[in-house]
Structure 1
């Protein structure tokens, strides 16, 4: 009968240490921390007070509730979110630096500018959350109530000022002017708050709004929807396409991360956005601005970004506009 092999005390101790290390998640290499375990920075590429900022702050609150960690909003305005995106591009892809921004900054800017410090492929997209009621708006006191009335007014008042929130939204005024042989002046402003100040302060007669005008229903009116579909908040107002100028562009808010985000983190962020889409607090803020919930998961968001870029390039080509 074969006797059992004598146990080597050193092997036994080694095995016990390895087992304990594995149980503690130490293993042979450094442990990967469970995401998230610390504060998340959420960049907003606009000044405080506009639609992107207000939706972003509501998102940050809901994200903190869903993920169980603080979410700090950092406003980094400039170039309709382009300044913040250029910075985000260089940040670690670890899930702790994110940006909430309109898709158009990435999907329209390349159609207008030859040199852009980022592209669709420089980022990962956790998902899309809401759509915008983008519109051409005027103060309630304006002596016109519709698009034709606006055209007549501008013909009688050359140089009427239009306030865009960025170079890309200036395009709508220049195309309306070109199509109707008008002289529309440009008054650059910073974000949604700048639009409010320009219109209500009497500095401009027309402006681009991504939806912030809905917060001032008695002080602003919609002249035309600048989306391909009619605005949710003003369904009786025609789109710019219906008015004979086919430049309407739909856009969504998108949660953006530096390229190379771990797949499990990207999946968690995408699932989190789905939960935020049903979050009562977030839905109340979105509803107050007539920002329709329009959730897309990570894969759908990336596909939509490419679709929008192709559509926007085609719109610019048809308008005879080359990137400058």
Structure 2
């Protein structure tokens, strides 16, 4: 076939069509990457996105833009990602509430996390701490709080950031494992919930470590236990709740996801870059200051964690008859 403009264009189109995903990944990225955050600026998810976005931009030589898309307990951001182009240029911060709790709490979401999203990597954990208002609660240990709650069923109250929030789920697991009845007072977010515990309006809260720490140090809150499997470096004298209630665990974890059909080679390239960034001492130091502990995984491991936690929280939601707000 003689070469002319028409056949030349055809050849270029065919070449692009049959280019291997590996070659796409080698060129990736050739334009700005956007990180979607399902919550407002300022929290742990936003801190992770902005810190890692800066490191990714330096490494890739392309801008990395953070876009906050809060609302509907993170479902707005998840739906956006489910419909985003699967080319690696839109990725999203994924806390366990949005990808592990919401899919089993909300019965009719317009997307399917397991079908429409895929894991890139785990990024970190944020321990929570069980705190009480010293003005309202005399308990100084987890065991004393359990005894107080059992002696006064439904008289103690706990503040949550709303139905399905990490604070809510941590409290429901606590109640289930101890046979206690403590009344939930839901708020629209963690900040107003914490304000009322500090003000002595509510008795108890499972609070993210970074938010509670200044008030624990000032004496405005009393810390009884942390929610992870090991003690927190910033509160070495505070035991884990599991030291009193074996196998108790209810940390906040945060990962990164992409649209489901994103080429594996691009997922792997993003995974490698995020893991490299999270291993940097300066990144780990800045995160630790915020009560965030860096932790990474393979894409497959993170996708499995999402599925495993969905099963766990489905059981808790069913047993406690939790309904979305």
User: What is the aligned partner in structure 2 of residue 146 from structure 1?
Assistant: 141
User: What is the aligned partner in structure 2 of residue 89 from structure 1?
Assistant: 82
Q: Is the 8 A contact 1:159 1:185 kept in 2?
A: no
- Find out whether 1:38 has 2:31 as its counterpart: yes
TM-score (normalizing by structure 2): 0.77
Q: Does the C-alpha gap of structure 1 residues 197 and 76 become closer, same or farther in structure 2, counting only changes over 3 Å?
A: farther
Gaps of 5+ in 2: none
User: What is the aligned partner in structure 2 of residue 243 from structure 1?
Assistant: 244
Q: Does the C-alpha gap of structure 1 residues 221 and 89 become closer, same or farther in structure 2, counting only changes over 3 Å?
A: farther
Gaps of 5+ in 1: 1-9
| Displacement of 1:188 | 1.0
**Separation of aligned partners in 2, 1:240 and 1:214:** 16
**Separation of aligned partners in 1, 2:227 and 2:279:** 27
Question: What per-residue deviation string (whole Å, max 9, x for no partner) do you get for residues 153-188 of structure 1?
Answer: 666796554322242232333454564544424131
Q: Is the 8 A contact 1:140 1:221 kept in 2?
A: yes
Q: How does 1:97-136 map to 2 (within 5 A)?
A: 97-116=90-109, 117-136=111-130
Normalized per residue, the structure richer in helix is 2
- From 169, 172, 175, give the equivalent of 1:171: 169
TM-score (normalizing by structure 1): 0.77
Please say which of residues 172-181 and 114-123 is displaced more in the overlay: 172-181
**Separation of aligned partners in 2, 1:165 and 1:177:** 17
Q: Does the C-alpha gap of structure 1 residues 241 and 94 become closer, same or farther in structure 2, counting only changes over 3 Å?
A: same
User: What is the aligned partner in structure 1 of residue 209 from structure 2?
Assistant: 211
In the comparison of the two structures, how many residue pairs are matched?
Answer: 306
Q: Is the 8 A contact 1:47 1:190 kept in 2?
A: no
User: What is the aligned partner in structure 2 of residue 304 from structure 1?
Assistant: 305
Q: Does the C-alpha gap of structure 1 residues 172 and 283 become closer, same or farther in structure 2, counting only changes over 3 Å?
A: closer
| Displacement of 1:255 | 0.5
- Find out whether 1:186 has 2:190 as its counterpart: no
Q: Does the C-alpha gap of structure 1 residues 202 and 104 become closer, same or farther in structure 2, counting only changes over 3 Å?
A: same
| Displacement of 1:128 | 0.8
Q: Is the 8 A contact 1:62 1:281 kept in 2?
A: no
User: What is the aligned partner in structure 1 of residue 14 from structure 2?
Assistant: 28
Q: Does the C-alpha gap of structure 1 residues 233 and 314 become closer, same or farther in structure 2, counting only changes over 3 Å?
A: farther
Q: How does 1:255-294 map to 2 (within 5 A)?
A: 255-294=256-295
Q: Does the C-alpha gap of structure 1 residues 272 and 175 become closer, same or farther in structure 2, counting only changes over 3 Å?
A: closer
**Separation of aligned partners in 2, 1:201 and 1:70:** 43
Q: CA RMSD in A?
A: 3.6
| Displacement of 1:227 | 3.3
Question: What per-residue deviation string (whole Å, max 9, x for no partner) do you get for residues 95-123 of structure 1?
Answer: 12111121343223344443344332321
Q: Is the 8 A contact 1:102 1:254 kept in 2?
A: yes
**Separation of aligned partners in 2, 1:215 and 1:69:** 36
**Separation of aligned partners in 2, 1:159 and 1:73:** 43
- From 58, 66, 78, give the equivalent of 2:59: 66
| Displacement of 1:257 | 0.9
